Chain A
Amino acid sequence: MMTERHAVVSVIGKDQVGIIAKVTNILADNQINILDISQTILQDFFTMMMLVDVAGRDNLDRLQDQFNHLGDALGLKINIQLEEIFQAMHRV
């Protein structure tokens, strides 16, 4: 069995039409399954967090590159980072 490996995709910036579609398209193109998703909008400020399954993928660099490309085009900050960093900081 493949070991579990989860990552968090975070999208932060000004709200606009089609953010979720464009980000999830990149994930679908890379055959990455979304496990959970949450988003809020506070005074036009959009934040979305997605928990995604990256089991078997050693290298997230290509994905991050694609997100950087999209983020630059839309004026958003899009990052993918392994989930453990959040677990470590917020759970005892």
Chain B
Amino acid sequence: MNIAHNEMIETIRMIQMENLDIRTVTMGISLYDCADADFDNLNQNIYNKITHYAGELKAVAEAVEREYGIPIINKRISITPIAEILGKATKEQAIEIAKTLDKAALELGVDFIGGYSALVHKGMTKGDETLLDALPEALSVTERVCASVSIGTTRAGINMDAVAKMGMIIKEAAERTKDQNGLACAKLVVFCNPVEDNPFMAGAFHGTGEGEAVINVGVSGPGVVLSALKRHDDANLSDISEIIKKTAFKITRAGELIGRVVAERLNLPFGIVDLSLAPTNAMNDSVAEILEEIGLERVGTHGTIAALALMNDAVKKGGAMASSFVGGLSGAFIPVSEDNGMIRGIMENSLTLPKLEAMTCVCSVGLDMIALTGDVTPATLSGIIADEAAIGMINKKTTAVRVIPVPGKEEGEMVEFGGLLGRAPVMGVNPYSSEKFIKRGGRIAAPLQALIN
């Protein structure tokens, strides 16, 4: 046999015992040709195109899953940022489109559809303004629609007017879903330097540089990395990096194979593999626990950022060689509500909001799935967004904010979001105001880092 017995056992162990899976197969679909001056046509075109293109997505992905014996957890769709095709549509019509997307997703059996989005990092078009106005209601009357808004890039700087607006939008979205702990906010990401081919939700959209349709894949596997490290308790940090690299290589190769097979069967081009280590609430499927295995008593203590930097870099190095096209966010995600180790870190007073902010300097995204106290003000939310955007802008990386100000909840309470979104301890924010800073409005100019030509 070409493959050794123990190698086969390793693969089977990874899948059956260590939660190795393909986290998502995401079909990107361009909606530009759906644009129409007549709203009913626009709305119908969107529905027709998505259901036509993705009609076989779930069935094909499930067949591949069975044949190769590796679970594909989510089948998802990303679309052209809706603001780009809204034209003269009204706020009410934009909300109608959200419902149309929700209906399409439900019928296709995909759990999320991403791209109810606007790119406003330098300024807002009429369509962008309409979409932003529609966001709180659109997210509270739909289940599967995910939204994202780009408010900054390294090349454009930060649009602080948009940042101010997002604070209010997040607050309103939370209020509108207060009987579900502000769930609407879990489907809204505010980005600096967003990527156009991200397959992961809630921030996926089919970027303007993308083609007609594409298959992108997001792999996962914190559990696999964790158990590989557990077998090398006395390794030094150089060896730790090697172990993570080798593991990431294998995980990514599995993702690349599955992505290519699904794309081929759907007769679509294969886009990218996103190498992110994405945790879940399953036992041992935690990024925080990897950091603790590396040697931290609790995630959040001194050394956390160094360990995270090491891990994030090793994942990229291993994965980059395993795939022809690495893209998306590719690194380690540090969501709180989806990671049992992060939750424990907060509950045991080791992990704090400032530390999480600092960690986003070296991880792949940003402040993710963090529950905040219900009394947090829009200006404070905007301040949090501005800080994250500044980190992304200056360091030429993607950063994001997906926080949930949970109505009526106070610091230390636990809130449930359900399913993959998990649960989170409510965190407090700095009590001092950012009001004046946010009210000033205007733009933060593109930094020197932008002048690279």
Contact = CB atoms under 8 A, between A and B. Distances in A.
B3 A88 contact: no
B253 interface: yes
Contacts of A79: 12, 69
Contact of A86 (B7, B66, B67, B256): B7
A91 B16 CA distance: 21
B257 interface: yes
A61 B3 CA distance: 24
Contacts of A83: 3
B12 A10 contact: yes
A81 B69 contact: yes
Interface of B: 1-5, 7-12, 16, 66-70, 250, 253-254, 256-257
A92 to B, nearest CB: 8
B227 to A, nearest CB: 15
Contacts of A77: 16
- Interface-central residue, B2, B4, B8, by most chain A CB under 10 Å: B8
A88 B70 contact: no
Nearest to B69: A81
A60 B253 contact: no
B247 to A, nearest CB: 10
B256 A60 contact: no
- Interface-central residue, B12, B16, B66, by most chain A CB under 10 Å: B12
Contacts of A60: 66-67
Contacts of B66: 60-61, 64
A90 to B, nearest CB: 4
Given A47-B9, A81-B67, 13 more contacts: A8-B3, A12-B9, A38-B1, A51-B1, A79-B69, A82-B67, A83-B3, A84-B68, A86-B7, A88-B257, A89-B250, A90-B4, A91-B3
Interface in A25-74: 36, 38, 40, 47, 49, 51, 60-61, 64
Nearest to A47: B9
Contact of B8 (A8, A61, A84): A8
A28 B239 CA distance: 46
- Interface-central residue, B4, B11, B69, B70, by most chain A CB under 10 Å: B69
A17 interface: no
19 contacts: A8-B3, A10-B8, A12-B9, A47-B5, A47-B9, A60-B67, A64-B66, A81-B69, A81-B70, A83-B3, A85-B11, A85-B68, A85-B70, A85-B254, A87-B3, A89-B11, A89-B253, A90-B10, A91-B2
A19 interface: no
Nearest to A80: B69
B188 to A, nearest CB: 36
Given A81-B67, A85-B69, A85-B257, A49 B11 contact: no
A89 B253 CA distance: 5
B257 A12 contact: no
Nearest to A84: B257
Nearest to A5: B67
B69 A89 contact: no
Contacts of B9: 10, 12, 47, 49
A87 B2 contact: yes
B443 to A, nearest CB: 47
Given A12-B12, A85-B69, A38 B5 contact: yes
B364 to A, nearest CB: 23
- Interface-central residue, A51, A60, A64, A85, by most chain B CB under 10 Å: A85
A79 B11 CA distance: 12
Contacts of B5: 38, 40, 47, 49
Contacts of A81: 67-70
A86 B8 contact: yes
B1 A90 contact: no
Nearest to A36: B1
Contacts of B257: 84-85, 88
Given A40-B5, A85-B257, A90 B69 contact: no
A90 B68 contact: no
A88 B16 CA distance: 18
Contact of B254 (A38, A40, A88): A88
B253 A88 contact: yes
Contacts of A36: 1
